[in-house]
Chains A and B, each alone.
Chain A
Amino acid sequence: MIRLRIPRAPTSPPSALPAELRWDAPPTSVALLLTRREVLKAASVVAAAMSLPLVRTEQAWARARGRYFTARERITLGALCDRVFPADHDPGATALGVVKYVEGLLTALGVRHPPIFTGGPFSGRTPFADAARGVPGRKHPRNAFKRFPALTPRQELAWRLELYGTAEVPELAAFEAQFGPPKVGLRDIYRAGLQKVDDVAQATAGAPYAKLSTTDQDTVFGLLDAGAFAPDPRRNGATFIDIVIRHTLEGCFAAPEYGGNFRTRGWTMLGLEGDSQPLGYSIFDTTTGAYVERADHPMSTPNPDELGPGGTIVPRPLTADGLAVQTSIATLASIIPVDTV
């Protein structure tokens, strides 16, 4: 395993977000904005206030069904994730099930087998090897991934803290007091974050986020990512947007048992085989006492699709984006003198 070590950014890019929408805006400036904006006429403020009980009812309804998001939150989150990982000729975030993945995480502790850690050892996606013949066999193991083992009491405690925050874990009150501000749980982070996404969309583009064109969604995303959310000191300085991006990647590429990676299409589009046990890539042939590699997925030789005539290697070209990140990493690494330890 290679652990890359990347120097941190010297400065953050200048923010185009109006000062009153920044996370560190003085409290009064939001009120000023509200009075300035024509879109927020008195009538709509009243309407918003009237709808508050409805939102509460919907949250309670979601809870009763073992879910967390309201319909509107789900739509907003889906739109946001699709700007992180959009559809093209391959599916995007929502088609891969990212929203379901995030909701599965946020409601993980309400169920008998919390979807935090898959069971083991095998998913059943690949068969056992036929060891006597050195080929893939016909028999598939049962899917043990979907039998999520119960958490140990300490694991449960840690995940309760992660999802519900310090305030909801009274047995950790004294321990948590050592670390400054209380930890805000992921559930509250999502509820407040998605509300703010729609607030910013409304204030800057005149409609809730999901109702905007994808172009406007991209513009608003840029604003949201440039100061709308406070870096969380209890989460290594991550903002809500950082969390959404990480969870989007997880929902696209984690094992499908977690709710995303629909029909393993996340893996397929990357050319990955996914979990390969128990077949793996080399089969020990018990008859001959030798290892046999899989022709379709070789281990010691290049991929078949990059082999040219006479065994020459014809690399599949990278996109400009792939080349750019490679160059970024090599460039950033070389900023730091080798003799600095």
Chain B
Amino acid sequence: MRKRAVPAVLGNTTLATFDVCIIGSGAGGGTAAHVLTQAGKNVLVIEAGPNPFPGLDDPDVVPMPLHSNDELKYSVRGYIDQIGALEPRTWRQRATDAAQVRASVNTLPKTVGGAFTHADCKTPRFNAVDFRLKSAVEELIAATPGLAVPGFGGDAGSANFADWPFSYDDLEPFYVEAERLYGVQGTDDNPFASPRSAPYPMPPGVAMYLGVVLTRGALATSFLGSPLHPHTYPAAIASRPTDDGRPACVDCGLCSGFGCPSNAKGSPAVTSLRRALLSGRCQLRHDAQVVRLVHTGSHVGAVEYIDADGALQTATADAFMLAASPIESARLCLLSEGLGNGSGQVGRNLMFHLQSNVNGFLPERVHGQRGRAVTHGITDFRGVEPGGDALRVVPMPDGPRVYLGGICEFSSSQGLPITEDGGVYAVDLPGPFGRRRGIGLKNALRDGALGQHLIGLIMQAEDAPQLGNMMDLDPTVRDVFDRPVPRVTYASHAFERASRVFYVPFMRDVVTNAGASQAFVNPTDGALGDPPSSSHVLGTLRMGTDPATSVVDAGGRFHDVDNLWACDGSVFPTSSGYNPTLTIIAVALRIAHGIAGTAPIL
């Protein structure tokens, strides 16, 4: 490989010894780096991806990133994506199937700042009941004759639900800290949100037209005897200039799937990680792919990584934190002779959200290229009572039921002509259904038939944890670093199928009542024989108190390794039905403060 001109290191380059080495610079790792450096620890952050923020360690100005409003760069050429041609994954629905090689199986962006960089940074909290979901459902079944919930009661063996080892009240101060650290906009207009001890740091920004239209549709839709409750969508996007030097969002539109050119999005790079770098106690090495943890079985001494030039390097520290995303964090354990896997649970309970996507066509142009991708939504289909402390029981003809769906985002196309319009007409739509070429293709493009007219709801429905849904190492396929690739085994559960079937007709009503025509339900990935594509990847290193059924303890430390922690979405026992990043950040804050012996900075 060609030699690099720029050394792939930022921050305090003179640091030689480290208290903590964090693998991954995203929402989990960036957050932990911030807390630990504030507490006086010397921290080494190792990031596998490149750095689109030259000058991130400059104390005087927030760096102008290499991000730009460029569809080709992100949606076609994958500027911040893991490179599927060099690091493929394999996938199968069941353990008895042969695994297929795919360029992407739930692959998250690989870049300084992690996957939050590509998100439009939606940051709802989980509900109070989410942290004791198993107990809550079991108590309800005991108290409610005829109540059946897939994956619970007599069907408990088909899923693997567990309570979290701490409560919403335990986590609440860390939610507050997370919202301030990342700069969350929002307001208290969602009756299903759980109580908060501090207001949102910033008010909501300007509404998108599609948010206005679908809000109208939701208010005109009756659900269980009352209209739905549309609300503004909390997001870690600055609606005011921030005290860390980031500007207010200008609603440029290329938000979901794109890096932010102005730093208004609260990417970990320009929030938590930058603070860590400016502390003088943090060093960031990027383009550095960690390949193995060097350990004694109960103690980690070093990590081995391949640097930008392809050379194998070693880094030592007193403690180590995995924050490489659930599939990659668990993979590192398995690549290191099964480190921390005394329970046999490493890689199991892999969860995504079952995303139900209901769309229709608005007669007028919706101009989704103006705004933050999502400004409004509804939480009525999460399946909880107002306040989010209790489950909602729905009387159905065959008995009482509980349907734990998820928050619904009001969304539209973002007006991307290559991927959202032309590519669909010319290549994705089969034969006579599409417009392969010619004036027909040109007309459909000028209409913006999809890019300017498609609106809808996306439900982020809770995904049941299952022992058999897992990542392990593929026995044959290896990546460009000559390591076995992750093999994902995943099939949906009746739990999420039931909530999809129950809520989708109401989602269709909202779309129709918003004035859209031809409301339709998108098939799921699984129905099309495709690997799941959700970017909400959770589980694999379950957090719990019992070393026999969980991998890490309530503080995020591995049960059987004395100086190894996990602080990303891998520790989640359940997936809830909300965009997970704010909770990943809050949990990372709780874990890092636990290591440092400090309290949340409020």
Contacts and interface: CB of A to CB of B under 8 A. Distances in A.
Same complex origin of A and B: yes
Interface of A: 1-10, 12-13, 83-86, 88, 90, 116-123, 129, 144-145, 149-150, 152-158, 161-162, 171-172, 175, 178-179, 218, 221, 225, 242, 245-246, 249-250, 252-255, 258, 266-267, 269-284, 286, 291, 293, 297-303, 306, 313, 315-316, 318-334, 336, 338-341
Interface string B39-72: 0000000000010100000000000111111111
Contact of A221 (B67, B251, B437, B500): B437
B18 interface: no
B73 interface: yes
A320 B449 CA distance: 10
A134 to B, nearest CB: 12
B250 A153 contact: no
A101 B265 CA distance: 31
Given A254-B72, A275-B69, A154 B83 contact: yes
Contacts of A3: 357, 533
B555 interface: no
B261 A117 contact: no
Interface centre among A255, A282, A331 (most CB of B within 10 A): A282
Contact of B85 (A6, A129, A162, A302): A162
Contacts of A329: 424, 429, 433, 450, 520
A86 B438 CA distance: 6
Interface in B2-29: 2, 4-5
Pairs of residues from A and B, 8 with the lowest C-beta to C-beta distance, nearest first: A280-B250, A9-B430, A322-B447, A121-B261, A275-B69, A322-B449, A328-B433, A1-B256
Interface string B491-505: 010001100110010
- Report whether over half of chain B's contact residues are helix, strand or loop; otherwise say mixed: loop
A321 B444 CA distance: 5
Contact of A281 (B68, B253, B261, B364): B253
A78 to B, nearest CB: 14
Contacts of B354: 341
A8 B50 CA distance: 35
A275 B254 contact: yes
B212 A300 contact: yes
Contact of A306 (B72, B205, B364): B364
A298 B251 CA distance: 11
Contacts of A255: 68, 70-73
Contact of B261 (A225, A245, A277, A286): A277
Contact of A88 (B64, B439, B496, B523): B439
B198 interface: no
A242 B427 CA distance: 7
B598 interface: no
B79 to A, nearest CB: 5
Given A120-B67, A162-B85, A299-B371, A338 B423 contact: no
Contact of A120 (B52, B431, B533): B52
Interface string B551-577: 000000000000000000000000000
Interface centre among A150, A313, A320, A325 (most CB of B within 10 A): A325
Contact of A253 (B370, B422, B523): B422
B108 interface: no
A249 B427 CA distance: 11
Contact of A4 (B5, B259, B448, B522): B522
B524 A282 contact: no
A7 B429 CA distance: 8
B86 A157 contact: yes
B309 A121 contact: no
B492 A325 contact: no
A309 to B, nearest CB: 15
A282 B206 CA distance: 7
B390 interface: no
B69 A277 contact: yes
Interface string B187-212: 00000000000000000011111011
